[in-house]
Amino acid sequence: MFTICIFVFFFQARRPLAYCQLNINVPIIRLWLDVERELSPEFRLSRKAMHAVQRLLRRSQDHGWGHELEVLVYVYWLAHGLSYRVTASVFHIPRSTVHRMVHKVAQLIWKNLHRAITFPLPADLDNVASGFELLSGSPAFNRAVGAIDGSHIRIKPPSIDRLDYLNYKGFYSIIMQAVCDSEGKFLDIFVGYPGSVHDTRVLKNSPLYVNRTYPPPGYFLLGDGGYPCLERPICLIAPYKEPVAGRVERRFNFHHSKARSVVERAFGMMKTRWRATLFKALEVKATFAPVVTASCAFLHNICLENGDQLEPDEDAQDHGPNQDFQGIPDANEMPGNAARDRVANLI
């Protein structure tokens, strides 16, 4: 049987010692080594996107199986939603090794989220805003630079405080809050709050809100009715509550929805790509689930940047009733009703 050896260089006896052996006749390894074959059917990533992920996560490593294989194993595990045992049998490597690789790569992505998920540069803001103007069908939205929403990620709840994870839709989850641009690329994510928490509370505890990170002055975000309409500390424009009072408010809500729905599409694309993992309860501890979820968003952005587009399945998009915002502004907040009226009057 042909094998390829991966070495650790010890200077004992002045010669390398074999660390482990990998069977290159395993079908999944043969697929990777055949550069003419596409990876998408097995890995849910194109070969170009896979190379981009491996470049972003490259680091000096003088032992182990090598970072390329570690990334392959992690992406395959994510793409198929498999147990560590089954993934180990596919690659013909020990189960304990797969477990270590999965956690290692997931934590590495977590530490490097900023390399794929980041706010646009000041010089790019007007381009982002132009995209939302196009989506909305109205020049009134030419200062929108992001759409915000939350999505529920199914998990197996912990035995302690399990009811905290039971959401209003009736299943256990954690919440991923995200801001995306007009192309569905994530600009910011905040993940980990239990599913029973309202979107507004998630927002008000996120760095985006607490640190007034985004959007810059003069621009605004678009959010659904689950968010408060705010001018400060961040400018977030929500739709008028139904039933609306007249044609101006109706027109505004129509164009607002056309632009804002891109974030639902972004979640849909992410969940469609990783449907084997995200369409069922994550088979990991609740403390690890946010890390896995964040890695799905990271990989989603890399795919978009490398032309690896994927149409979202209808059942992957977060349609359905939302929990409308019912609160009153906090002391540090300035309502955004006047800002919303100014935009509405431009339509």
Which pLDDT band holds residue 238 (cuts at 50, 70, 90)?
A: very high
Q: Are 21 and 5 in contact (CB under 8 A)?
A: yes
For 111-134, the pLDDT digits (tens) are 999 999 999 999 999 999 999 999
- How confident is the model over 315-331, as pLDDT tens digits? 766 655 566 766 777 88
Share of the chain above pLDDT 90, in %: 81
Which run of H or E residues covers position 178?
strand 173-180
Residue 10 has pLDDT above 60, yes or no: no
Residue 258: which residues within 8 A CB-CB, separation 6 or more?
A: 135, 136, 137
DSSP state of 155: B
In this prediction, residue 194 carries a pLDDT of: 97
Please provide residue 197's backbone torsions phi and psi, each rounded to the nearest 5 degrees.
-80, 135
Q: How confident is the model at residue 61, as a pLDDT?
A: 58
Place of tokens 């059917």: 41
DSSP category for residue 239: P
Q: What is the pLDDT of residue 283?
A: 86
**Average of per-residue pLDDT values in the chain:** 90
Alpha-carbon distance of 281 to 247, in angstroms, equals 43
Output the CA torsion 171→173→179→185 (10° steps): -90
Sign of CA dihedral 45, 78, 84, 276: negative
Cα separation values, 70 from 77, 168, 231, 232, Å: 11, 37, 45, 44
The DSSP symbol for 283 reads: S
Q: How confident is the model at residue 313 (pLDDT cuts 50, 70, 90)?
A: confident
| pTM of the entire predicted model | 0.91
pLDDT at residue 65, rounded to an integer: 61
Residue 318 has a pLDDT of: 65
CB 276 within 8 A of CB 95: no
The pLDDT assigned to 331 comes to 82
Please tell me the predicted confidence (pLDDT) of residue 314. Answer: 74
